[in-house]
């Protein structure tokens, strides 16, 4: 099977879509939890930035509900592609039960990597307004009516690191799946 021109059955394609949808749900839940935590750390990142990015959401709901909606909408698509690619790597090559188990482990790798990057970002983010790295955020801070600029920047660090961690986690998970797929295929070959 060529990586650029894959061949798989309609049934396999259907299962890849299911993997993508389950990945969307898992990523969306992660996004909701992630954004609830970061809203607690620096609510102005949402009220002065994310609420404007997601301007089409109904702001008459309580802020925590809007933050949950933003968390889901900002991450579901990452999970869809991750689930799709994991399914794409496993389903045509191994039995479905093993594809599910291995792909779920791949999702865990991704979640752990993303959360680890977020935690590291929280630690290394500026902790005082006089930190020289704060200067990079001044255009955004001046455009907004931010009172606690340090908390805003810390949450920005966490969000950016989470996306980077998700990408690196996906790459690690896909590499791991590829190795496991080759190992399983070798063991079960007649």
pLDDT digits 0-9 by tens, 107-133: 999 999 999 999 999 999 999 999 999
Domain-embedded: residue 12: no
Domain-embedded: residue 10: no
pLDDT band at 8 (very low <50, low <70, confident <90, very high): confident
Domain-embedded: residue 55: yes
Domain membership of residue 36 as a residue range: 17-181
Residue 3 pLDDT > 90 = no
Please say whether the beta carbons of 153 and 129 come within 8 A: no
Residue 144 pLDDT > 90 = no
Specify the higher pLDDT residue, 164 or 140: 164
Domain-embedded: residue 65: yes
CA quadruple 141, 166, 40, 55: dihedral, nearest 10: 60
Region of poorest pLDDT, from 10-14, 71-75, 80-84, 167-171 = 10-14
Q: How many domains does the chain have?
A: 1
Domain-embedded: residue 77: yes
Question: Considering the chain, what percentage of its residues have pLDDT values greater than 90?
Answer: 77
pLDDT tens, residue by residue, 45-72? 999 999 999 999 999 999 999 999 999 9
pLDDT tens, residue by residue, 9-41? 899 999 999 999 999 999 999 999 999 999 999
Domain-embedded: residue 166: yes
Averaged confidence pLDDT in the chain: 91
What distance in Å separates the CA atoms of residue 179 and residue 76, rounded to the nearest whole number? Answer: 27
Domain-embedded: residue 124: yes
Please say whether the beta carbons of 74 and 165 come within 8 A: no
Domain-embedded: residue 7: no
Q: What is the DSSP string of 121-183?
A: HHHHS--STT-GGGGGGHHHHHHTT-S-HHHHHHHHHHHHHHHHHHHHHHHHHHHHHHHHHHH
């Amino acid at each position: 099977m060529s990586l650029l021109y894959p061949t798989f059955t309609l049934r396999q394609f259907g299962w890849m879509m299911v993997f993508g949808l389950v990945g969307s749900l898992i990523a969306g839940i992660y996004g909701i939890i992630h954004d609830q935590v970061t809203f607690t750390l620096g609510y102005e990142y949402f009220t002065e930035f994310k609420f404007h990015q997601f301007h089409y959401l109904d702001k008459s709901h309580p802020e925590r509900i809007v933050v949950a909606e933003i968390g889901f909408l900002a991450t579901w698509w990452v999970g869809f592609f991750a689930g799709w690619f994991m399914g794409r790597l496993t389903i045509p090559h191994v039995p479905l039960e093993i594809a599910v188990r291995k792909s779920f482990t791949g999702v865990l790798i991704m979640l752990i990597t993303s959360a680890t990057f977020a935690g590291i970002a929280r630690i290394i983010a500026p902790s005082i307004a006089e930190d020289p790295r704060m200067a990079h955020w001044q255009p955004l801070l001046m455009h907004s009516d931010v009172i606690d600029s340090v908390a805003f920047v810390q949450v920005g660090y966490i969000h950016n690191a989470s996306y980077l961690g998700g990408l690196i986690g996906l790459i690690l998970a896909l590499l791991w799946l590829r190795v496991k797929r080759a190992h399983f295929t070798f063991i079960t070959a007649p």
